[in-house]
Amino acid sequence: MKRLYLYNSLSNNLDEFRPIDESNVRMYACGPTVYSGPHVGNARPLVVFDVLFRLLSLLYPKVTYVRNITDVDDKINKRAAQRKITIRELTDEVIENFHNDLSLLNILPPTIEPRATFHIQEMIDVIQKLLDNGYAYQTAAHVLLSVKKLPNYGILSKRMLDQMIPGSRVEIGIYKRDPLDFVLWKPSRDNEPSWDSPFGPGRPGWHIECSAMSHKYLGVQFDIHAGGHDLIFPHHENEIAQNYGAFGCLMANYWIHNELVLVDNLKMSKSVGNVISISDVLQKMDGEIIRYVLLSSHYQKKLNWTDQAIHQAQQSLNKMYSALNLVTEFVETDYDESIIDALCSNLNTPLALSHLINLADEILKETDQSKINCGGSVLKKSASILGLLFRENWFKRNLELPEEKIEELIAQRNQARKAKDYKKADEIRNYLTDHHISIEDTPSGTTWKVI
Ligand SMILES: [Zn+2]
């Protein structure tokens, strides 16, 4: 069994991964709030934790991966009102588009994808437990968690209570006994979704969702809790507080966080106008290129989304698919050890990608067909752990030149040949070859194909 090491935000250490139950590794990741589709920043954790899910599934017989959907939220209410549709119409539409985007990025569905609104009773149960255990209180139709009653609040974010400046990222409310206390249940205004509860009609706070749904599907203590770095405080800290207050444990043994995505070195924000939505990028390029870019930096480092990064990803994929195109028959092989080792070393995806490129280089230099077939099979199989090289007709899908342009160049070349300008004719042929187009002159005319 390979040893897997992951950087654990809870211990602040590179820890060896040891599951609670080797026969069923349990992992939770905070999923989307479905008021609009994902942008490249949201897509990064989805892709990174998909690789972790694939890797764990290779190392262990069973992995239960839960990724929730937040379908009750102020942003959802606002967006539905703006569009004059019901909340359910909006969330169903966004979820459907979300699933389409993810399948184009070759992100596997999680084992369970619970929706918050289908788990209100479970949330009420956890809130009731927090009240019974004396960690929560009711005031002005709200239920709040009493942060200072929890001895280990700050254990994940490593913040002392006096560093948590109320009002900056912590919601202030006049009904709070302490500014740090956070909402477990709140009353709904008119036109907002509302559920009956022992604490009065209303709706849950955001943090309680993840505690209730992870508890239902993964138990009080599970292996991995994953999410974006920006969720550490307050969201994940609050999830731990709720679980500690209700069940007396710290929820997960390993807390894994990915860094954010920059666009041309700038933080993505609506005010700068540089938010790049996945559905827009998918109009321009294959989802596999997006996936490659998102894996090209280590998940703990900021990733810079640039035209150059996209171009490099496309070139690397072209090279790998060129190598696969030489294979005449795929054979049964094992994974390339160095690629699995790179991933077991805290998900070192850039190193794993460089090993894939080396494999492709070797195949492209090889002349022995049986070695090409074997190398290509290792390449394809090893790439599958990164969720790459899954296309059947990559070059057709990713033509570097539009078809009309190819036809035009072939016509120009034929004219050049007629005029006995063989230099120009060769230049055009070389240009096409550089763009993965091979041409053949036949008695009935010139044909082309993608190579
Ligand atoms: Zn969460």
Q: What string of H, E and C letters represents the secondary structure of 59-84?
A: HCCCEEEEECEECCCHHHHHHHHHHC
Query: What's the whole-model pTM score?
Result: 0.91
Q: How far apart are CA 199 and CA 141, in angstroms?
A: 7
CA distances (Å), 418 to each of 29, 339, 375, 433, in order? 64, 52, 43, 21
CA distance 449 to 301: 40
**Cα 400 to ligand 1 centroid, rounded to whole Å:** 41
Distance, CA 300 to ligand 1 centroid (Å)? Answer: 19
- Distance from the alpha carbon of residue 341 to the mean position of ligand 1, in angstroms: 30
Give me ligand 1 centre to Cα 388, in Å: 28
For residue 111, give both structure tokens: 């084992």
Q: Rounded to the nearest whole angstrom, what is the distance from the C-alpha of residue 30 to the centroid of ligand 1?
A: 4
Farthest-apart Cα atoms in the chain, separation? 92
Protein residues with C-beta less than 5 angstroms from the ion ligand 1: 30, 210
Q: CA-to-CA distance for 211 and 136, rounded, in angstroms?
A: 15
Q: Give the number of other Cβ atoms within 10 Å of residue 8's Cβ.
A: 20
CA of 122 from ligand 1 middle (Å) equals: 15
DSSP code at position 15: E
Run of H or E including 214? helix 206-218
Ligand 1 centroid to Cα of residue 123, in Å, is 13
**How much distance in Å is there from the Cα of 66 to the middle of ligand 1?**
11
Residue reference for tokens 């609040």: 153
- Residue numbers in the chain where pLDDT is lower than 70: 162-174
As its CATH architecture, domain 18-258 has 3-Layer(aba) Sandwich (3.40)
pLDDT attached to residue 450: 78
Q: Say how many Å lie between the CA of residue 307 and the centre of ligand 1.
A: 32
For residue 198, the CA-to-ligand 1 centroid distance in Å is 24
The answer to whether 52 and 93 are in contact (CB under 8 A) is no
CB 299 within 8 A of CB 350: no
DSSP 8-state code for residue 118? G
**Extents of the domains making up the chain:** 18-258, 263-397, 403-450
Separation of CA 332 and ligand 1 centre (Å): 40
Domain 263-397, classified CATH 1.10.8.80, yes or no: no
pLDDT for position 171: 61
The helix or strand, by DSSP H or E, that contains position 281, with its residue range, turns out to be helix 278-284
How remote is the CA of residue 210 from the centroid of ligand 1, in Å?
A: 5
**Predicted pLDDT at 168:** 53
pLDDT of residue 164: 67
